[in-house]
């Protein structure tokens, strides 16, 4: 059976993506065809910089009849405006990234592929304030209202209930409906992609799940939501104190830990596994992943960046 291609948008130009991509391709055999949606001239410049000698196949268009080569990297060229000295103009970066995404979404909507990977992007530079992050940007463009961020590691994974919200807004966004929705998305994703019913632990919002306030979110919102999901067949328990749920003996009990906010669960996971995790968007009709790190602009061109997260992301898409 022919494998569907992995569609890749490298992301912003000032990034470590091509460095870690070249390292990944050298380190791991990927059986699925790869289609890079990017600027060909910039790709070739980076390939020369990092001494990556590989066959590149330039595609003019992509349709269901297109034959994708497994022995070369398929490229769909996206132009980017340059000045008179043929230098890329920074003010056109956002248009370039947006055009790359739009081309990828078109390919996915046409059912040519269901595997999508984007490289790291500086959210402050690319996104307007109406998007909290790239997860929400992808969801909006694909007309999906409810999605989740799953930071996946084969031993332990986490999902933040809220993503890039300022701390002062978090408590107001926590609702029974949102908790139940995220628990169902996690459960459905594991059943569909890993053929297992996941065991989910839920971290409380307040320290030790206690509060000096008369209104305790852990008692009034989180506990009832867990009971509701459990009655609906989801294997979930909690809330647990966030300062102990990640202890070795505790996290062994769960496939996924649902936290109430971004850094509550991403910080311990990154401390435990560093680059050995990938960012998966659950709730989409296709697989969308990205490396679990940013563009690391200060490391550009130093050839010192760790490719582990991208290797894991490519492996995940290749197997599915």
Residue 315 confidence (pLDDT): 96
Averages of pLDDT over each 10 residues, the chain, 320 residues: 87 89 92 93 91 84 78 88 69 84 94 94 75 87 91 96 93 96 98 96 94 90 98 97 96 97 96 95 96 85 91 95
Residue 164 confidence (pLDDT): 87
Residue 88 confidence (pLDDT): 66
- Main-chain phi, psi angles of 73, to 5 degrees: -90, 120
User: Do the beta carbons of residue 237 and residue 255 sit within 8 Å?
Assistant: no
Domains and CATH numbers, the chain: 1-144+284-320 (3.40.718.10), 146-283 (3.40.718.10)
Structure tokens at 40: 């060909």
- Per the confidence metrics, is the pTM higher than 0.75? yes
- Main-chain phi, psi angles of 257, to 5 degrees: -115, 120
Residue 1 confidence (pLDDT): 54
Q: Coil, strand or helix: which one is 207?
A: helix
Alpha helices in the chain (DSSP H): 17-27, 40-49, 93-109, 123-126, 134-141, 167-173, 176-193, 217, 223-231, 248-251, 262-273, 308-319
d(CA 232, CA 239): 17
Residue 299 confidence (pLDDT): 85
DSSP 3-state percent helix, strand, coil across the chain (nearest 5): 40, 20, 45
């Amino acid at each position: 059976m022919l494998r569907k291609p992995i569609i890749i948008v490298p992301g912003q130009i000032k990034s470590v993506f091509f460095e870690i991509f070249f390292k990944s391709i050298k380190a791991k055999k990927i059986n699925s065809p790869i289609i890079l949606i990017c600027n060909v001239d910039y790709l070739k410049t980076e390939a020369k910089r990092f001494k990556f000698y590989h066959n590149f196949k330039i595609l003019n268009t992509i349709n269901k009849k297109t034959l994708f080569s497994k022995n070369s990297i398929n490229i769909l060229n996206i132009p980017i405006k340059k000045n008179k000295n043929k230098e890329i103009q920074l003010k056109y970066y956002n248009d370039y990234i947006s055009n790359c995404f739009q081309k990828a979404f078109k390919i996915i909507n046409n059912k040519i592929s269901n595997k999508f990977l984007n490289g790291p992007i500086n959210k402050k530079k690319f996104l307007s304030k109406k998007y909290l992050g790239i997860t929400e940007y992808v969801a909006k463009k694909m007309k999906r209202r409810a999605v989740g961020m799953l930071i996946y590691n084969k031993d332990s994974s986490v999902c933040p209930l809220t993503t890039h919200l300022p701390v002062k807004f978090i408590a107001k966004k926590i609702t029974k409906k949102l908790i139940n929705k995220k628990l169902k998305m996690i459960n459905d994703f594991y059943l569909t992609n890993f053929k297992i019913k996941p065991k989910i632990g839920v971290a409380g919002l307040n320290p030790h799940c206690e509060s000096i306030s008369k209104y305790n979110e852990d008692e009034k919102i989180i506990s009832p939501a867990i009971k509701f999901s459990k009655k609906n067949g989801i294997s979930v328990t909690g809330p647990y104190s966030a300062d102990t749920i990640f202890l070795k003996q505790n996290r062994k009990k769960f496939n996924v830990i649902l936290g109430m906010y971004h850094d509550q669960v991403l910080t311990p996971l990154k401390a435990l596994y560093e680059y050995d995790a990938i960012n998966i968007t659950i709730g989409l009709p296709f697989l969308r992943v990205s490396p679990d790190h940013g563009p690391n602009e200060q490391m550009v061109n130093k050839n010192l960046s760790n490719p582990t997260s991208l290797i894991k992301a490519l492996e995940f898409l290749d197997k599915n």
